[in-house]
């Protein structure tokens, strides 16, 4: 069977699904992309058994066929060919020949029937949200997820739904990020589910800033996100997320307002001489002034003072500077608020423009 596909048609869908392909696979077929054609549509599917990505291409194909090809080799070949090249795919039993111009490639294929698919998602809840809003919520929160933590439920992001609100929460036990969006979900009771880290990062990569709605389908064990040309499916983490509300400070009675970029740049400079392992810095709050200090085992020191809006009692507190910089990198408002109670309590950081994004950072002992 012969099919002709232009590189402009196949490159973007291939790049979309490639994120589900692990470089080191226990099952060889998981290194392949499933290619299925029928009724004028070619479907590309990649999976690592945890997430599955499906992209569709409209081409002139009438006969039905299925095969699998090495995903990264196929992508590399398509990228290496001249722009806007036609590729003739000739599909045989255990190999596929690709011809474009005077180039010819023969790739080994594996049987399509052996490609593992995620079970059909039986919808329990379905709702829609603008694609750019979903991307924004994930981008503002994902950095606080844990990575390879023994508390496996922290290696992902909590999606919490109520009848009129969507909330994402991520924490690694040292800092917490929360973002929310008011939108009807059609739920009669609250629902919590945990999306694994890889699924969160892939979804963030795939989403665009389009105003078009995406459809979110939830089942007992899966989340599915559908756009016009892409279907993302991820298994959920089976576990109970900790009660994050307990770590969000509500008694912070001291508020500092500061220009975000000014504080961010100052922290960058001072962090150069912080302890490379622990990354600790000292913040000293006084009337309209913030002193930032760092030192390291080599007896090197750095100190800088910036003007802030602060009128409470003096406080001296230590933080991991990386955690603070991560927050200031995802916030994009001109000014931020930092609320705290004392030198032993977590601080809460918000934008002065909206409280839809909140960040909690635990102090550290210096």
91 CB neighbour count, 10 Å cutoff? 17
Q: Which of 227, 245, 263 is the last residue of a domain?
A: 245
Domain identity same for 296 and 261: yes
- pTM for the structure as a whole: 0.93
In a domain, 166, yes or no: yes
Mean pLDDT, the chain, whole residue set = 95
Instruction: Give the tokens for residue 234.
Output: 């991820």
| Token pair recorded at residue 34 | 């499933």
Residue 92 reports pLDDT greater than 90: no
74 and 16 share a domain?
A: yes
- Cα distance between residue 349 and residue 322, in whole Å: 14
**From residue 206, how far is each of 54, 201, 234, 240 by CA, in Å?**
12, 9, 13, 27
Closest by CA to 361, choosing from 267, 297, 286, 270, is 267
* CA quadruple 218, 219, 225, 229: dihedral sign: negative
- Is the confidence at residue 128, as pLDDT, over 80? yes
**pLDDT(122) > 90:** no
Per cent of the chain over pLDDT 90 is 89
In the chain, the number of structural domains is 3
Structure confidence by residue, pLDDT tens digits, 15-55: 999 999 988 878 999 999 999 999 899 999 999 999 999 99
Measure CA 200 to chain center.
4
- C-alpha to C-alpha distances, 326 to 14, 196, 280, nearest whole angstrom: 31, 20, 14
d(CA 268, CA 247): 27
Are residues 235 and 261 both part of a single domain?
A: no
Final residue of a structural domain among 55, 80, 114: 114
Q: Which residues touch 56 (CB under 8 Å, ≥6 apart)?
A: 13, 41, 42, 43, 44, 229
Supply the DSSP symbol for 342: S
At 344-358, the pLDDT tens digits run 999 999 999 998 999
Diameter of the chain by CA atoms? 78
Arithmetic mean of pLDDT, 301-325: 98
Interval 53-75: pLDDT, tens? 999 999 888 889 999 999 999 99
For 81, the domain range is: 2-114
pLDDT exceeds cutoff 90 at 362: yes
């Amino acid at each position: 069977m012969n099919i002709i596909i232009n590189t402009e048609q196949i490159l973007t869908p291939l790049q979309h699904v490639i994120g589900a392909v692990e470089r080191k696979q226990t099952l060889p077929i998981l290194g392949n992309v499933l290619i299925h054609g029928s009724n004028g549509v070619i479907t590309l599917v990649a999976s690592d058994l945890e997430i599955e990505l499906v992209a569709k291409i409209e081409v002139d194909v009438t006969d039905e066929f299925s095969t699998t090809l090495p995903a990264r080799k196929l992508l590399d070949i398509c990228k290496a060919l001249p722009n806007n090249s036609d590729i003739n795919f000739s599909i045989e039993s255990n190999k596929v020949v690709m011809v474009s111009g005077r180039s010819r490639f023969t790739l080994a294929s594996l049987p399509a029937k052996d490609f593992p698919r995620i079970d059909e998602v039986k919808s329990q809840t379905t709702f829609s949200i603008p694609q750019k809003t979903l991307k924004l919520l994930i981008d503002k929160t994902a950095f606080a997820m844990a990575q390879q933590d023994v508390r496996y439920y922290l290696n992902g992001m909590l999606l919490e739904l109520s009848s009129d609100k969507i909330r994402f929460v991520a924490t690694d036990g040292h800092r917490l990020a929360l973002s929310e969006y008011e939108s009807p979900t059609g739920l009669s009771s609250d629902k919590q589910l945990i999306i694994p880290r890889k699924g969160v990062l892939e979804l963030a990569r795939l989403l665009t800033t389009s105003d078009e709605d995406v459809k979110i389908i939830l089942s007992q064990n899966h989340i599915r996100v559908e756009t016009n040309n892409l279907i993302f499916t991820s298994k959920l983490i089976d576990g109970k997320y900790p009660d994050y509300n307990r770590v969000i400070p509500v008694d912070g009675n001291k508020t500092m307002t500061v220009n975000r970029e000014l504080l961010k740049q100052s922290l960058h400079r001072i962090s150069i001489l912080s302890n490379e392992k622990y990354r600790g810095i000292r913040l000293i709050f006084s009337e309209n002034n913030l002193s930032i200090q760092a030192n390291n085992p080599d007896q090197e020191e750095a100190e800088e003072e910036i003007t802030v809006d602060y009128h409470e009692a003096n406080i001296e507190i230590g933080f991991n500077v990386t955690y603070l910089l991560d927050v200031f990198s995802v916030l994009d408002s001109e000014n931020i608020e930092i609320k705290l109670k004392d030198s032993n309590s977590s601080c809460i950081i918000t934008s002065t423009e909206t409280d839809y994004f909140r960040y909690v950072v635990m102090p550290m002992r210096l």
